[in-house]
Amino acid sequence: MATTLAAVNPINPLANANAAYDGFLNAFLVKSGNATYLVDGINKRDKAYFWGQAFMITGLIDAYERNPTPTRKQLIIDLTNSFLNQETYDWSWNSWTDDIAWACIAVIRAYKVTGDPTYRTVAANNWNFAFNRGWDNVLGGGLWENMDKHTKASLANNPMIISGIFLYETTGDANYLNKSKQIYSWFRSSGIYNTTTGVVNEAKVNDGTIQYSENSYNAGSFINAAASLYKNTGDAQYLNDAVRTADFVVEKWGVMNQEADACARGIAKLARENNLGGKYYPWLVRQSIAVWNNRRTDFNIANNDWRNPTPGGEQFAMNCISMVTILNVTPEQEIVSVPTGTYRLNARHNGLSLDALGGGTTNNTALDVWGYGGGNHQRWTLVSLGSGLYRLQGVGSGLSINVAGNSGDNNAPVVLWDYNGGGNSKFYFSSPSSGYYSMIFVNSGKAADVAGTGQGAKILQWKPTGSTNQQWQFVAP
């Protein structure tokens, strides 16, 4: 008899987001006299530099927007005022366009929270200064990253669009919209953005060459910029570009292992504003599950590698703010729950059963599918780990199914291994079709997949597709 499962487990509840917010503040917030600021690390207590301070204030505003309490609002006021007292209202001393862009984002978002017109004025004055100083016709246009005029970079141009659109939305001045469109038009045609793959490269050098890269920060900022322009213009090109790059991110990073806040914020915005939650919320949920599972529990913080546990010792604030953002921009979702017990698992596409190859009982035994014969190597005990997570233990071996080598890659084999609490042996369920369920590994965000149709087809992990070779029926043995 097949087991009927029910969607009952909340994923990314507000309690988790609140714990991450509080943990970040406990680790990195300092209040000293009239000053409130964020420091570099748990042990390195220097005040974070200009753009880092602004970048992290932005992440804390993400948390305010999910849970807008008076205490959080006051913290934004205190952080922003201390930032302006330290850095002054005129940032022309800073030669980096991206630094100014991120400070503009933080301060204009603080205006949206508080309504303090001083914040809007400061953001507007410095945005206009940065645009006028940074834009010229060398390389056909675009903003210089730094006033040494070596590169026109993603990390300067896209945050200037994001902050420019915030200014347009809060002032109604079309100058900001038009200049943001101007920046985007140059960027899209510059060769930095690949209009076929969605890859956002690093920069265009002053000799006309491209600095190639595939980092998540640039992709996320571009998605945010394009989605912001689409929201305010309705021009489908912006939406198509944002979707193309979001799809690239989802394909490349099943679970993030580098700076993720820009991607999380950009993809969440794209999904929220364009009825694309069905497409992108599963990816956001996978990130939320991974980072929460791999957090450091003394502070409830995690660094940027969400595929592995965050170690003790020194951790830096700029590497930990992404956890705050992902847990606060991802809406709470529900995932299916399974009664614990012993089962055989039948693959939907061929009806064959999950099987320890050759009846093996040792570490690194491969898994395949085979006609059910009733042996203990085809019987599996489902163990609940709480919070909607599970492990699957072989009755014959006592070992758990495990992604070999803690891999995050497609095609990594799924094998038997001693259970050690790693995310490569923990999974949760999605329900692509009534009565059949996919197992999504925490460490990779990828599904247990049957790589073939016949007996002996191996079990690998692959990006979730909802296809029948990733769907399993739980049947009493």
pLDDT of residue 4 exceeding 90, the answer is no
Q: What is the spatial distance between Cα 216 and Cα 195, in angstroms, rounded to a whole number?
A: 17
The answer, yes or no, to whether residue 36 has pLDDT greater than 70, is yes
Tell me the average pLDDT across 359-388.
97
* Amino acid making up residue 141: G
Q: Are 36 and 60 in contact (CB under 8 A)?
A: no
Q: How confident is the model at residue 1 (pLDDT cuts 50, 70, 90)?
A: low
In sequence order, which residues have a C-beta less than 8 Å from that of residue 53 and are 6 or more positions away? 37, 38, 47, 79, 83, 86, 106
Reported as a single tens digit per residue, the pLDDT across 444-455 is 999 999 999 999
| pLDDT over threshold 60, residue 392 | yes
Q: 255 near 282, Cβ under 8 Å? A: no
Residue 431: per-residue pLDDT: 75
Which residue pairs, CB below 8 angstroms and at least 24 apart, start in 454-457? 454/350, 455/352, 455/368, 455/369, 455/370, 455/371, 456/368, 456/369, 456/370, 457/350, 457/352, 457/368, 457/369
On whether the pTM is more than 0.75, the answer is: yes
Name the band, by pLDDT with cuts 50, 70 and 90, for residue 12.
confident
> pLDDT confidence of 3, banded at 50, 70, 90?
low
Average pLDDT, the chain: 96
pLDDT for res 338: 85
**In terms of Cα–Cα distance, which of 344, 402, 350 is closest to 378?**
344
The percent of residues above 70 in pLDDT, for the chain, comes to 98
With contact defined as beta carbons under 8 Å apart, do 77 and 110 qualify? yes
pLDDT digits over 89-136, tens only? 999 999 999 999 999 999 999 999 999 999 999 999 999 999 999 999
377 and 396 Cβ atoms separated by less than 8 Å: yes
pLDDT band of residue 334 (cuts 50, 70, 90) is confident
> Which of 222-236, 368-382, 420-434 has the lowest average pLDDT?
420-434
Q: Which domains does the chain have, with CATH numbers?
A: 12-332 (1.50.10.20), 338-475 (2.80.10.50)
User: Which of 22, 10, 13, 14 shows the shortest CA–CA distance to 297?
Assistant: 22
Q: Which pLDDT score, from 0 to 100, does residue 194 have? A: 98
pLDDT at 193: 99
Q: How much is the pLDDT for 131?
A: 99
Joined tokens for residue 213: 């890269």
- Model confidence at 11, pLDDT cuts 50, 70, 90, reads confident
pLDDT of residue 430: 85
pLDDT greater than 90 at residue 9:
no
Q: What is the pLDDT of residue 2?
A: 64
